[in-house]
Chains A and B, each alone.
Chain A
Amino acid sequence: MVDIRPWLQELYAPAVLVASTPAAEALIQSKNGLGLVDLLRPYASAFGLNVPVRVGESSVRVQDLRVRFFDVGTLYQPPPEVIEDHLQDVLKLSSQRNAKLDPSPDLLQRFMSDNPPDMRELTPWFEAYRSEFMRLLRFGDHETLDYPVACVYAIPADVQNPSSHFDTLVAQMALPPLMAQDVMYTLRDKDFPRHYLLLLDASTGMNEKRAMDNLTAIRRLYGEAHCSILRINSGNGDRAHSGAPVDFFARYQFTCLTSGGAGEPRLRPPPPPGGVGAYLTVQDMDSIGGFVREFMCRTLLPRLEDRIARLNASITAARRGLRNRLNRFWKGAAEDRQTDRPYPWHSVEGQMRQLGDLAFLMRQYTFAESTYRLAAQDYQAEGNSKWYAGVEEMIGLCSVLNEPADPIAAVLLQNDPMKYFMRAYEHYTKPPAAVLAAPSPPASAGGAPGAPGSGPPLPPAALAASKVGRMLATRVVMLGAAVQSAAGRYRAASDALMRAQSEEENARAGLLLEQSAYCMLYLRPPLVRKFAFQMVLAGIRYICCGQKRIAIHAYRQVLALYLGRRWRYIEEHLHAVLGAQCVEYGDKDRALWHYCALLDCGHRPAAQQQHNVGQFLNLLAGVRDQLAITHDGVSLVDSLPLPLVNRHDVRVLCSDTACYSGPAARAMPESAWLKMEACCTSGSNNWLVEGGGAKQERDHEEYTMCVSGEEVGVQVEFRNPLAVKLKVSNVRLICTFTHESDPSAAGKGPVALPDSTNTSYFAAAGGSGTQSSNPLAEGAHPLLPGSAPPAISTQPGSEYLHVAEAQFTLHPGEALVEVLKVLPRAPGWLRITGVTWTLNGTAHGRITFDVKGRRRKKPKGERPGQLKHFPPHRRLLFQVVPAMPRLELLGDPLPPALYSGELCRVIMRIRNSGGLPLRSLALVVGHPEAVVPATDANKDRPLLDSLTDHREVVQLSKVPASARGTLQLYRLWPGRELAPGEVLEWPLWLHPRGQGTLKLPIVWYGEPAAPKSGMRHRTLRICGSVSVQPLLSARPVVWPSPTHLSQYLLRLGVDNSKDAERVVLQQLAAVTVPPLPPHHVAGASGVDTPATPTNTPRPVPVGWRMSMLGDTVGAPSSAATSGPGLPGNATPDGPPAMAGGAEAAARSLPLAVPLQPGESAGLFLQLLAPPPAAQQLRQVAGSSASVAAAGMSSGPGGAGTGISPPPSGLATPGRADDPSAVAARAVAQAAEAVRSLALAEGGASGAGPTGRVSPYVDGSDSGLQQLNLFGPGVLAHFYRRGRKGMVAATSGLGAAGATTPGGLSQQRTPGAAATGVATPQQAMLPGGPQPALGQSVSFSPQTQAMGGPGAPLRGVSFGPTSTAAAAALQGPGGLGPGPQGPMGPGRPPLPPGVGGPGVAGPGGGLLAAAGQGQAMVAAGPGRPGPPLLLADPPLDLLLLWHVAASQRTGPHQGRQRLGLCRPYDPQSNRDLSGCIQAHTTPVRMLLSGPNGASSAASATGSAGPVVRHDFRRSPLAVLPLRLRVRNNTALEARLQIEVGEGWSSNDAPHSWQASTGLLGGSHAAAPAAAPVSMGPPSAGATGAGPVSAGPTGGNGPLGQSMMAGAPGGGPGAGGGGGMAGSMMAITYQAGLPPCPEYAWVGPSFVSVPRMEPGGEAEVTLAVSVFRPGAYSISGYRCTAFLEATGAVEVQRGEPLCFRVEGA
C-alpha cells in the first residue's frame, strides 16, 4: 500500500499568470531560447517559507509552496480533438519506448510472490498518458484550481516610465477566454494580486541606474513588496558556465499543442546558437530563485489570504447559517436553472468553488471539503451537473488527502472516497444541459437523455462539451482507481475502470482495461483468467485505435495463459489477431509464428483453412532463412504442423540378418519368423543366443545391423488434417553417420554422444568430425530456394551416405505412409534422427523422431515400458557392416487366386543381390499346403509330367521338435554356392485346401561363404498370400452295406461352385493307410508318427477298394458270393492295371464327369474294407454243419420224436435251390433294393450321368484318369497323415446298454437281490469263479481290475479248485456238463435267482456277474468305455478334377488347371473315415434266411419273403438261418452269440423256436423251471448234455483255436471231453408259451472263439415254426469279449421278417 497523497498534492498547485511585454520577452528569448515562464518554472517550488496564512477559522504556517507559472496567452483548454490527437501521440511514443513485444517472463510467478511488481513498472505508458491527460484537461470552466491566483507583469528594466509600460501591458494583454467570459477571477479586479518585475539584461549593457530608478518608481507606485528587479543574461553565450543541466529547463516544458493552450505556448522559440540558456549564469539562476521566493512570500501568500478571507465572508453571508439555508430552502425551486452555464466568478456559487479550491490548494482539506459540500448543495439543486461533479470530485480528493496519517485512525475513518468519485463520474457523463436544451422541444417529448446522438446534429460546442465531459469522467475514474489501488482495494478499482472503459474512446478504454486487468492480478488469489480476458479486450481496443505495438504487447502478455489449455477458439483468435497485428507492425517473424499456430485448423471450414494456409505461405514466401526464425528457442522449421508427422510410430525397414520381401512379410510377427529361422539356424545357434545373435547394445542403446550398400528405410506416416491439398516435397531423413575409421570418433565412441538435445547433437556431431548428412546442421539450408543444390554430393558425408528424397501430395484428410530411405555406403555407425520436408514448395518443416533408443541402465521393473526395450523396428541406431550376401525375391511367384484343392506349381526366383556368395541354402515353408520338391529338375516340364515323375518327391529335413508339424525345412543344393547376382529358380507346389486367404510364410536361408563378424547368416522372409476360392464341394453320405459286413455304400454328391468354371472329374481314388500291425494298435494310436519319407515302398499295398454301385449288379453279388476276402486277395497293386471284373473293386476309379458351374453330380460307390492282415477264410461249411447238427440233435431230442430229419427240414424252405443260391438271390435282392433307392436319389439330384462312366467327355484327359495318386511324390506328401486308426462309434455300446435292460428285465431283480450275496464272491475271488468272471464281465473299471488279476489266475486256479462245485461253475464258460443244467435258466451268464442246489459258490460268482451287468447298464450310456479302435484302416477319398483351359483372367488364363477335391470335411482335416466310423459298431451282424430274407431288408420295412411249407407233411417248418458276424474292432475278440431271448412273431403262441450251435462250445441250458421240476426238463437237460458233449463235429483247427483261445476252460472242466467246439444239435421242442408243462428250448449260445480284427464268421442257425404266419425274428444278439482290453461289447441284431405259408 503506497501513500498516494504526495502524488495528488503534486497534481495541484496555485497557478500564477505571467505576462510580459514583447520587449521583455525578447530579452530572454533571443539569447536563451526561453520564455519568462520557462525561466521561472524551475524555481516554482519554495521551501521553508514559514509564512502564516489564515484559511477560514484556522491559521496555518505555509512552509513549502509550489506554484505553477503560466503565460497569459496559454490559459485555456485546447479543443477536445487536439487533446485526443496529442494523447494518441503520447501513447504511441510511450509504448514505443516501453512496451515490449515479448511477454514479460514469469509474470504470474512475480504476482504470486510476496513482492508483486509495481503497476507503474508494468504499464509505464499509462502514467505518461495520465499525466498528459490531466494536464490537458486543465482550465475547465467548472473548476478554479488552475485559475491564476496572482500575476507577474514583466517589462525591461531600462524603459522610460515603467508604469506606463505596465499599463500598456495590461491594457494590450489578451485575456484568457474564461477570464473574458467572467468565469475566471479576472485581472481587471483591483484586488487581483499582482507583482511587477523589471528584467535587467546584463549582456546588452542596460543602464543599471535607470533600472534601479525604475524599480524605485514602481515600488512607490505599486507597493514595496510587489515590485522586483531580475538580472539576467549575465553570461557570455557559453552555457558551460551556467552550470545547469542540459534539460534543466526542458524538464518543466510540456508539449506544445497546435492549438496552443493548456499552459503551453503554441510554439517554442528556436534555441539560440549557444544553446538553451546560454547567457544564464549561476548568479542569474539564483536571482530567479530569489525572486520567486520573494514573490511568494510578499505578494502571493498575503494576497491569497486576503482573498480567502473575502470569499469566506461573502459566502458566510450568503450561504452559511440557518437563515440562508431556510432562504434557499424556500427559494430553491424558483432558482432552477437547468443549465450548466458556468457561474461567473463573482456569483456566490462561483465564489464557493473558488474558496474551496483555494483552501484545497492551501491544503486545508477539511475547510475545503466543507466548502465544497456547501457548493455541492447549490449545484445539485440547480442541476448543474458538471459543477456538481466537479465538487464531488474535489470532495473525494479531500477525503483522501484529509486522511490522518495514522493508519489506525484511517481505518476508523474509513469512508470510501469512491462514492464521491463515482458520483462525480455519473454527473460528468450526464449530457450537458446545452445538449439537452438544444433539441428541447423534441427532447421534452421524447425525453431520451441517454441518446445524444439520436436527435438532430448537435452544435459543435455542445459536442465538444460532451466530449470533455467524457474525458473528465475518465479523469475521475483514473483518480479514483489510483486511490483505490493505492489503498489495496483492487477490485473496486477494477470495477470503476471497467465501468468507465465501456463508453470511452478506444485508446483510453484500452488503457483502462489494461489497468483493470492488472488489478485482477493484484487480487488474492489472482484472477488470472479475468486478467487475460481484460487484456484481450484492451488489446482489441488498442487495435481499434491503431496502437499496434501496445496491442501486440497486451495480447502476447496473455497468450501463454491460454495456450495449451484446450481453449481452442480463444487460442486461434489470439493467434489470428496477433498474426495480423504483427504483419501490420512489420514483425514478420512473430507473425509467422502466429500464423504457424493457426495452421492446425482442421475443425474450421475449408475456406478458413485455405485462408490460413495461404496466409502463412504467402508470408513465408520471401523468407530465406527459415531456420533462423526462432521463438523460445524453437525454430519455426521445427514447429511446422503440416503435414502431421507421426513421430512416435516410425517403423524401420532395415535388413539385418533378415531381409524382407515385402510389407506383408514385415507384418508378420517377429516371433513367427524367428521360429522359422530357428529351424535352419539351430545348428549354429544354441539356446544362449536366442533370436539369432547376441544382444546388440551400444552404450546401453540397442542397435540394428545393416549392410553397407543396402538401403535403410523408415516408414513415416504423414497425415493431412486439413481440407486443403498439401504438396510435400524434399522429404528426406535427417541422419548422422560416423565412419568406422574416423579417428576422432573412434576414440570417444562415435555416436554415443552425451545426452543432448538434437540441435546440440548436430552441432557436436559436426564439430567432432562426425560426418553428418544433416543439411540443417550445416550453415546453409540446402533446401532453401536459390542456395546450394540439395544434392547430397556436396555434403562431406556424401561418399558414405546417400539420402533419398521423396515427394508426394496429400489430399484432404489423407494419411500416407511413406518409406524414406537412406543408403549407407561404408561401414560405420548410422543414426537416423528425424525427417525434414518442404510444404507447398515454401515452408520447411523438420521433426525429430520420438524414439528413444537409450535404455535405462537399471530397469525399474519387469514390465516392457520400464525396461525400455525397443523392438528392432524402432531402433534408429545402425551399425553398418561391410557388404554381405543378400537374397532377393524376383517377382512374386504366387498367383493371386487359386481354387480350393488346386494343384499348382510356381517357380520362386531368388537372386543373390549382395556382394558375397552364399552357401548352405535352405528353405523353410511355414504352411502344410505348400511343399518344395527335392529337385528342380522338373521345373520346366509340364505340370502333369512333373506330377508323374518319380523324382518329384519331397525330401524334408529334420526340424526341431517344437516346430514339427507346421514347419517344413528343406536343404537345397548342398555344397553349392550362389554367386552374387546369380539367380536360383526353384519350384514350389501349392495345394490349398481351405477357403479364404492362404498366408504362406517362407524363409530362405543362406550363409555367407566367408563369414564376417556380426552376421553369420542371412535370411529372406517372404510372406505370400493367395486367395483361395471354392470350386468343388462334396457331400459324402455313407452307410453300411446291407449285404456285406465289410462294405459300405457311399453316395458322393459333388457340387460345382456357381461362379467357378467347367471342371471334369477325372479320377476318384481311395487313399488309405494299411492297417496297423496288431501290436501297434494300442501304442501308436495317439502319437503322430514322424514324417517318414513316403517314397519307401509299402510291402503290402492293401487298402480300401471301391467300385461303382450303379455299374453292374453282378459285381457286388459276385464279390459277395466269393466272400469278403476275395477282393482283397484278388486285387493286386496298381489299379490302372486292373481291368475287367477287377475293375469293380479297385483303388481308383477313372471318371469323366463334366460339371458346369453350379452343377452337381452324384456318385454311388461301394467301399470295400481291406481284408484283415492275416485272415483266414473262416467260412464254415454251414450247410453240412447244420445238417450234421440237425442230424445229431434229432437223436437225443427225445421230446421231438416225430420230427422230420434235419435234411428234410433244411430242404423245405428252399424249394428249388440249394442254399447258396438262395443266399445269393437274397443278397442280390437286397442290393437291388438299395440300388434303386440310390438311383432314385441320384435322379432327383438332377445330374444326368449319375456316376456312369462315359466313354468320352469333352475336356476329359485320359492321362489324368491314369494318374497315380498313391505313389510317392508331391501328392502323397500333401496327404501324408498320422496313422490314427478309426474308432468305433459309441453308439454300439449305447445300443448294448439300451438293449440289455430289455432283455434282462426279468433277471434284473434277482441280480439286484443277489448283490447282497456278492460278498462271498469277493472272498472267493482267488478261487474257482475267476475264469467265469474274467470272461463274462469286463465293462466297468472295477471289473476290469478284477479281470486283470483274474486272467493270470486263470490257469493256475483250476487245479486246486477242481471240485464239483468248481466244475459246475464252468458251465457258462462253455462246458456243457449235466449238472449245470439247473444253473442256466433264462440266460446262461445270469443266475436264476436263488440259485441251484449246492451252488453257492458259483451262484455267487454268477451273481457277481449279474451285478456287473447291471453296473454296465448303469455306466454304459453316461460313461462310455475306452474307445475301441476299428479294424479298418482310415479311408480318404481324393477326387481329381481338371479344368482344361481356364477362362479366368490372370496367369491361369487358357492354362490347364487340376486339383484334388477331398470329399470329407477338409476344414477339420479329417478323412472319410469319420463318416464310416459313425456307422460302425464293434460287431456287425447280418442275419439272412431263405428266399432272400435278410435283416437288412427287413430293416427297410419289407415284410420279407414267403416261405412255403407243407405243414401236413411235417408239422414243423425248419428254416435255416445264417448269421454273419464281423469283428469290426482292431482287437481280437471272442464272440458269443445268443439266440432265443426274445422271439416274437405276429402270433407268438404258435411259434417254435430252435437254436443251434455251430462253432465253439454251444450250450443249451435247461429251462428255468428245470431244476425244480421233474423229469422231462431233466431229460431235456440231460439230452442237451450229451448233445453238447457228443458230437465232435468241429474241425480240427477250430477246435484247436478254441481250446487255445477260449477261456472256457473246456478241457479242464470237461474232464478230457475236450469237445467244447462241438456242434450243437438243434433241439426241437414243441410248446407254446414257455411254460413248465412243455419243455421249451431256451436260449442257446454259439461261441466264436477267436475273431481277428476285421474277420468275419458265419453261424448257421435255424428256426422252426409249426403254423403259417408272419414272423419276425429279433431275439439274437452278440457279445464280444475283447481279450486285449477286457472289454465286453454287446450288440443286438436287427429283426428278420418272413412269412410262412402252407404249401
Chain B
Amino acid sequence: MGIACVAFIGPQNNPMYLRSIDPASDDLYMKLHYVVHCSLDAVEEKVLLKRGPGDSQDAYLGLLYPTEDYKVYGYLTNTHVKIIVLLDDEGTVKDEAVMRVFRRLHGLYVDTASNPFHKFGLPLSSPRFDGAVDGIVSIYRGAGASQGGFMT
C-alpha cells in the first residue's frame, strides 16, 4: 500500500499541483490527471450531500471512489483547495493514517501559500514543495508498513 499520486486542486477546480510519486510515463501521468479530475465529482457530491449550511464538518472527505487501480481519497480545506491522494489499491487502508497524511499535506500547503510571492490558486512549482511532499509520502509509506505489522 502506498501513495501513488498527490494532487492539489484549486478552488476553481483547476489543477495546482499533480505529482506522481513514482516516475510515471506520459500515459500514466495523463491517466492520473483524469482520475484526479474525476474525483472532483465525488468531492462535490460529498460536499453537497454531507454538508448542510452552517455545518462545519471535518475537512477529511474519506474515500471518494475506487477505480480499478487506485483508491482515491480527498480532503477539502477551508479555502476550497482540494487535496487528492491516490493510493495503490493494495492492502487495507487505515483512515487515521490517510488523515494524518492529509493533515501534513494541508500544513505544507498552508506554509507554501503563506509565501508572499505565492498567488492563491495558481500552480505550485517549487522544488522545495516537491521535496516536502516526498517526505510526507515516505512517512506514510513507512507508517503503513509498520501498521501492517506482519511483514516478514
> Which residues of A come within 8 Å of B, CB atoms?
502, 520, 525, 527-530, 532-533, 536, 562, 565-570, 573
Known: A525-B44, A528-B41. A570 touches B14 (CB 8 A): no
A530 engages B33 (CB within 8 Å): no
In the complex, what residues of A have CB within 8 A of residue B44's CB? Answer: 525
A-contact bits for B95-114, CB 8 A (1 contact / 0 none) = 00000000000000000000
The complex places the Cα of A567 from the Cα of B33 at a distance, in Å, of: 8
Q: Which residue of A lies closest to B34 (CB)?
A: A533
**Chain A positions within 8 Å of B34 at CB level:** 533, 536, 570
A533 touches B38 (CB 8 A): yes
Partner of A525, one of B15, B30, B45: B45
B33→A565 contact, CB < 8 A: no
Report chain B residues within 8 Å CB of A533: 34-35, 37-38
Please determine whether B38 and A529 come into contact, CB atoms closer than 8 angstroms.
yes
Per a CB cutoff under 8 Å, which of B15, B29, B37, B68 touches A529?
Answer: B37
Which residue of B has the minimal Cβ distance to A564? B14
Are A566 and B37 in touch, CB under 8 angstroms?
no
Are the CB atoms of B33 and A569 closer together than 8 Å?
Answer: yes
A selection of 19 A-B contacts at a CB cut-off of 8 Å is A525-B45, A525-B48, A527-B41, A527-B42, A529-B37, A529-B38, A529-B40, A529-B41, A530-B38, A532-B37, A533-B38, A536-B34, A566-B14, A566-B15, A567-B14, A567-B37, A568-B15, A569-B33, A570-B37
Task: Report whether B13 and A527 are in contact in the complex, using a CB–CB cutoff of 8 Å.
Answer: no
Which residues of B approach A to under 8 Å, CB–CB? 12-15, 29-30, 33-35, 37-38, 40-42, 44-45, 48, 68
Q: Which residues of A contact B14 (CB under 8 A)?
A: 565-567
Contacts of B12 in A (CB 8 A): 566
Evaluate contact between A502 and B68: CB separation under 8 angstroms: yes
Q: Are A570 and B41 in contact (CB under 8 A)?
A: no
Bound state CA distance, A562 and B35, in angstroms?
13
Contact B30 A570 (CB under 8 A): yes
Q: Which residue of A lies closest to B30 (CB)?
A: A573
Contacts of A527 in B (CB 8 A): 41-42, 45
Q: Which applies to chain B's interface (DSSP): helix, strand, loop or mixed?
A: helix
Taking CB atoms, residues of chain A closer than 8 Å to B68 are 502
Partner of A569, one of B30, B38, B45: B30
Chain A residue with Cβ nearest B43? A529
The chain B residue sitting closest to A570, CB to CB, is B33
CB distance from A567 to the nearest CB of B (A): 6
Q: Which of B13, B15, B41, B48 contacts A530 (CB 8 A)?
A: B41
Give B99 Cβ to nearest chain A Cβ, in Å. Answer: 24
14 additional A-B pairs beyond A567-B33, A570-B33, A573-B30, beta carbons within 8 Å, are A502-B68, A525-B45, A525-B48, A527-B42, A527-B45, A529-B38, A529-B41, A530-B38, A566-B14, A566-B15, A567-B15, A569-B30, A570-B30, A570-B34
Q: How far is the CA of A529 from the CA of B34 in the complex (A)?
A: 9
Smallest CB gap from B68: residue in A? A502
- Determine the chain A residues whose CB is within 8 A of the CB of B33 once the complex forms: 567, 569-570
Docked Cα-Cα span, A536 to B34, in Å, equals 9
A527 to B48, CA, bound (A): 12
Smallest distance from the beta carbon of A954 to chain B beta carbons, Å? 53
Closest 7 CB pairs of A and B: A566-B14, A527-B41, A529-B41, A533-B38, A569-B33, A530-B41, A529-B38
Residues of B within 8 A of A562 (CB): 37
Q: A565 to chain B: which residues have CB within 8 Å?
A: 13-14
For residue A465, give the distance in angstroms from its CB to the closest CB of chain B: 26
Bound complex: CA of A665 vs CA of B50, how far in Å?
A: 64
Q: Which residue of A lies closest to B49 (CB)?
A: A525
B38 to chain A, nearest CB (A): 5
Nearest residue in B to A561 (C-beta to C-beta)? Answer: B37
B45 — which chain A residues lie within 8 A by C-beta? Answer: 525, 527
Note all chain A residues with C-beta closer than 8 A to B35. Answer: 533
Residues of A within 8 A of B38 (CB): 529-530, 532-533
- A533 to B70 alpha-carbon distance, docked (Å): 15
A520 to B42, CA, bound (A): 11
Bound: A525/B46 CA distance, A: 11
**Distance of B16 from chain A, by nearest CB (Å):** 9
In the complex formed, the residue of B with least CB distance to A537 is B34
Residue of B at shortest CB range from A520? B41
Per the bound structure, the CA–CA distance linking A536 and B44 in Å amounts to 21
Considering the chains assembled together, what is the distance between the CA atoms of A569 and B18 in angstroms? 11
Question: Nearest residue in A to B18 (C-beta to C-beta)?
Answer: A569
Interface residue from A520, A528, A532, A569 paired with B29 (Cβ < 8 Å): A569
Residue from A520, A533, A568 with most neighbouring chain B CB atoms (10 Å): A533
User: What is the minimal beta-carbon distance from A577 to any residue of chain B, in angstroms?
Assistant: 10
Closest-CB distance, B2 to chain A (whole angstroms): 23
Closest to A573 in B: B30
Bound CA span A533–B40, Å: 12
Please give the distance in Å from B69's CB to the nearest CB on chain A: 11
Contacts of A528 in B (CB 8 A): 41
Residue of B nearest to A499 (CB): B68
> Which residue of chain A has the shortest Cβ distance to B121 in the bound complex?
A566
How far does the alpha carbon of A530 sit from the alpha carbon of B65 in the complex, in Å? 11
Closest to A569 in B: B33
Bound-complex Cα distance A565 to B44 (A): 16
Q: How far is the CA of A529 from the CA of B15 in the complex (A)?
A: 14
A536, A562, A565, A567, most chain B CB atoms within 10 A = A567
User: What A residues does B30 contact at CB under 8 A?
Assistant: 569-570, 573
* Residues of B contacting A525 in the complex (Cβ-Cβ under 8 angstroms): 44-45, 48
Query: Bound complex: CA of A567 vs CA of B41, how far in Å?
Result: 15
A533 to B34: give the CA distance in the assembly, Å: 6
A566–B30 Cα distance when bound, in Å, is: 14
Q: Which of chain B's residues has its CB closest to A571's CB?
A: B33
Q: How far is the CA of A570 from the CA of B30 in the complex (A)?
A: 7
* A570 neighbours in B (Cβ, 8 Å): 30, 33-34, 37
Chain A residue nearest in CB terms to B10: A566
The smallest C-beta distance from B76 to any residue of chain A, in angstroms, reads 16
What residues of B have a CB within 8 angstroms of the CB of A569 in the complex? 29-30, 33
Complex Cα spacing A580 to B7, Å: 30
Distance A28 CA – B46 CA, assembled complex (angstroms): 66
CA distance A532 to B33 in the complex (A): 12
Measured in the bound complex, the distance between the Cα atoms of B34 and A877 in whole Å is: 48
Residues from chain B with a CB closer than 8 A to the CB of A530 are 38, 41-42
In the complex, what distance in Å separates the CA atom of A567 from the CA atom of B35?
Answer: 12
The minimal Cβ–Cβ distance linking A1157 to chain B, given in whole angstroms, is: 46
How far is A566 from B44 in the complex, measured between Cα atoms in Å? 18
In the assembled complex, the CB of B50 is this many whole angstroms from the nearest CB of chain A, namely: 13
How many angstroms from the CA of A145 to the CA of B33 in the assembled complex?
47
Cα–Cα, bound, A528→B13 (Å): 13
Query: Which of B14, B34, B40, B45 counts the most A-chain CB atoms under 10 A from its CB?
Result: B34
CA distance A573 to B41 in the complex (A): 20
B48 CB contacts on chain A under 8 angstroms: 525
Which chain A residue lies CB-closest to B123? A566
In the complex, the chain A residue whose C-beta lies closest to that of B15 is: A567
Interface centre among A502, A525, A529, A532 (most CB of B within 10 A): A529
Q: How far is the CB of A578 from chain B (nearest CB, A)?
A: 14
Residues of A within 8 A of B37 (CB): 529, 532-533, 562, 567, 570
Q: List the B side residues contacting A573 at CB < 8 Å.
A: 30
Query: Shortest CB–CB separation between residue A490 and chain B, in angstroms?
Result: 13
A565→B14 CA distance, assembly (Å): 6
Minimum C-beta distance from A1521 to chain B (A): 74
CB distance from A466 to the nearest CB of B (A): 21
Instruction: Please give the distance in Å from A88's CB to the nearest CB on chain B.
Output: 25
CA distance A502 to B68 in the complex (A): 9
Please give the distance in Å from B30's CB to the nearest CB on chain A.
5
CB distance from A1430 to the nearest CB of B (A): 54
User: Closest CB of chain A to B18's CB: distance in Å?
Assistant: 8
**Chain B residues, Cβ within 8 Å of A568:** 15
Q: Within the complex, what minimum Cβ distance (angstroms) separates A1487 from chain B?
A: 68
Complex: A573 Cα to B26 Cα, angstroms = 10
A532 to B35, CA, bound (A): 11
Q: How far is the CA of A525 from the CA of B12 in the complex (A)?
A: 18
Q: List A contacts of B41 (CB < 8 A).
A: 520, 527-530
**Bound state CA distance, A525 and B30, in angstroms?**
26
Q: How far is the CA of A502 from the CA of B41 in the complex (A)?
A: 22
